[in-house]
Structure 1
Amino acid sequence: MNKPDPIPARLAALKTTPTHDLKKQWRDLFDSEPPPFNRRYLESRLAYRIQELTYGGLKRETVRRLERLGEELDGGDRKKSRVRADRDRPTTGTRLLREWQGVEQVVTVTADGFEWQGRPYRSLSAIARAITGTRWNGWVFFGLKNHRRGA
Structure 2
Amino acid sequence: MQSVRTVARRRQSQSQGGRLLRKWNGTTHVVEIRSEGYFWNGRFWRSLSAITREITGAQWSGPRFFGLNAAGQGVGQKGRRT
Instruction: Calculate the TM-score normalised by the size of structure 2.
Output: 0.73
The CA RMSD over aligned residues, in Å, is: 2.6
Distance 2:33 2:56 in 1: 19
Letter of the structure 2 residue corresponding to residue 110 of structure 1: R
Question: 4+ residue stretches of structure 1 with deviation over 3 A?
Answer: 81-84
Larger RCO, structures 1/2 (Cα 8 Å, 6+ apart): 2
Name 1:137's counterpart in structure 2.
61
For structure 2, the 5+ residue unaligned runs are 74-82
Distance 2:40 2:7 in 1: 22
Name 1:124's counterpart in structure 2.
48
For structure 1, the 5+ residue unaligned runs are 1-65
CA deviations 1:2-26 (Å, max 9, x no partner) are xxxxxxxxxxxxxxxxxxxxxxxxx
CA deviations 1:77-99 (Å, max 9, x no partner) are x86x46742443x2111111100
Name which of 16, 20, 23 aligns with 1:96: 20
* 1:47-86 matches, cutoff 5 A: 81=6, 84-86=9-11
SS at match of 1:130: helix
**Structure showing the higher strand proportion among its residues:** 2
Name 1:149's counterpart in structure 2.
71
CA deviations 1:10-47 (Å, max 9, x no partner) are xxxxxxxxxxxxxxxxxxxxxxxxxxxxxxxxxxxxxx
Letter of the structure 2 residue corresponding to residue 137 of structure 1: S
Distance 2:7 2:45 in 1: 17
**Structure showing the higher helix proportion among its residues:** 1
- How has the CA–CA distance of structure 1 residues 143 and 150 changed in structure 2, closer, same or farther, with 3 Å as cutoff? closer
Q: For this pair of structures, how many residues does the alignment match?
A: 73
Work out the percentage of aligned pairs sharing the same amino acid. Answer: 44
